[in-house]
Amino acid sequence: MTTEQKSFEDRIAQINKRTKDTASRNPKPKTDIIWKRLAYPGAFIGAFVLGSMVVFLTRFIQFQMVSVPEAGKVNTQDFIGIAMASQTGMFISMFLRDKQKEFESASTVGVLLTTFTFHNLVWAYPLQFERMYSEDWVDFMQKITEPSSL
């Protein structure tokens, strides 16, 4: 073997050795399980549902406190509902301080969407709402709203 060939083979051996050393020092790629990957989008859905549930809870509390609203205070009731849902949402977000702002936004969207479409659920499921609230309340909601409206 000539000196040039030996020198060339030594260089190749050195390169291969460095490659193996570098590969052994690099961390192995993490293998995520499906549940960890679904946690982030699932948190958005959970925040949205949380916002919707807050509206249901505040409407129920509002009904227990005021019963069926008077005819002149209908618009006021919507603002009271939004304010109560927002307050409850802020209270719940105190427990989720370390979460990101996107989740608060998803919760807010849930609050607003449910607030403005709540009466459609009353039209769609009147018997369930009669059990939860009362027959008078369902009749009142159906008098002041139209089905499939905002």
pLDDT digits (tens, 9 = 90+) for 98-148: 667 777 778 778 878 887 888 888 899 999 988 988 888 888 888 888 888
**Tens digit of each residue's pLDDT (9 = 90 or more) over 69-85:** 666 665 666 677 677 76
Nearest to 45 by CA among 128, 132, 106, 118: 106
Distances (CA, A) of 57 to 21, 26, 62, 81, 84: 60, 52, 8, 10, 9
- In this predicted structure, what is the pLDDT of residue 57? 83
Is 60 exceeded by the pLDDT of residue 11? yes
The answer, as to whether pTM is greater than 0.85, is: no
Would you list the domain boundaries of the chain?
39-144
Report the amino acid identity of residue 140: F
How far is it, in rounded angstroms, from Cα 107 to Cα 124? 24
Give the tens place of pLDDT for each residue, 85-98: 677 767 766 766 66
